[in-house]
């Protein structure tokens, strides 16, 4: 057998396993072998790169890391407005205080993830084709717990609000006392002058 490659393992005489021709005569299948063009395809620049904006891995939204700005901004403002009555997050100009920004942004991403996953579950159902609960249901529960931890850190739950030294009843009472004090001062100034 001159001029052709032969298979020299375990006493094989260079014939293909199916008995048709030699191993060298067959076309390569799959991506095996360093010289096979299929195994070199991923080494070309840009090969297999995702196009901008493509998110083929995004199925249920639980792994959202950087949502689109248009989605993020709306959810961010919604969260700030919802928390505004409980936690003083804004300064006198209406801007969010810098010390609250990271926590509110993380909570916003978690809120968006929960909403996306709930949309996925509403579309595909809470159970798979075999009647088993989808793993996304447990993921939503974990993400909701993480969101609650973030809200706790912000002082946006009753327990954390009290732990941070805020007391809604006491604060309201102090406001009323202050208003009464100012009213008395105004009356005194009017009487004196």
Write out residues in the chain with pLDDT < 70, as ranges. 1-42, 46-61, 63-65, 165-172, 193
Q: How far is C-alpha 142 from the chain's CA centre?
A: 12
Rounded CA separation 27/97 (Å): 67
Q: Give the SS3 label for residue 69.
A: helix
Q: Please give the pLDDT value at position 140.
A: 93
Q: Show the CA angle centred on residue 53, arms to residues 50 and 55, nearest 5°.
A: 65
- Residue 127: strand pairing partners: 133
pLDDT at site 153:
87
Is 129 exposed, middle or buried, given 0-12, 13-18 or 19+ CB atoms closer than 10 A?
A: exposed
Tens-place pLDDT, residues 19-38: 555 555 655 555 556 666 66
Q: What pLDDT shows up at residue 52?
A: 63
Q: Is the pTM of this model over 0.85?
A: no
Torsion over CA of 104, 109, 110 and 113, rounded to 10 degrees? 160
- Residues 70-97 pLDDT 10s: 888 899 999 998 888 778 888 888 888 8
Per-residue pLDDT, 67: 78
- The span from the first CA to the last CA of the chain, in angstroms, equals 124
Q: Are 25 and 4 in contact (CB under 8 A)?
A: yes
């Amino acid at each position: 057998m001159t001029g052709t490659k032969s298979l020299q393992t375990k006493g094989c005489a260079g014939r293909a396993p199916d008995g048709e021709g030699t191993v060298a005569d067959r076309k390569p299948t799959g991506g095996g072998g360093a010289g096979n063009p299929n195994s070199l395809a991923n080494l070309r620049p840009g090969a297999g790169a995702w196009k901008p904006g493509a998110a083929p891995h995004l199925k249920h939204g639980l792994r959202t890391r950087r949502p689109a700005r248009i989605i993020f901004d709306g959810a961010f403002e919604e969260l700030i407005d919802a928390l505004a009555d409980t936690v003083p997050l804004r300064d006198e100009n209406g801007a969010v205080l810098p010390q609250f920004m990271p926590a509110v942004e993380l909570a916003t991403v978690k809120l968006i993830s929960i909403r996306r996953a709930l949309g996925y579950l509403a579309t595909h159902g809470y159970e798979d084709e075999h009647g088993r609960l989808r793993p996304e249901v447990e993921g939503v529960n974990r993400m909701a717990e993480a969101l609650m931890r973030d809200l706790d850190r912000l002082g946006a739950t009753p327990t954390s609000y009290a732990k941070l030294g805020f007391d809604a009843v006491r604060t309201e009472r102090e406001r009323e006392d202050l208003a009464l004090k100012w009213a008395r001062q105004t009356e005194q100034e009017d009487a004196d002058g």
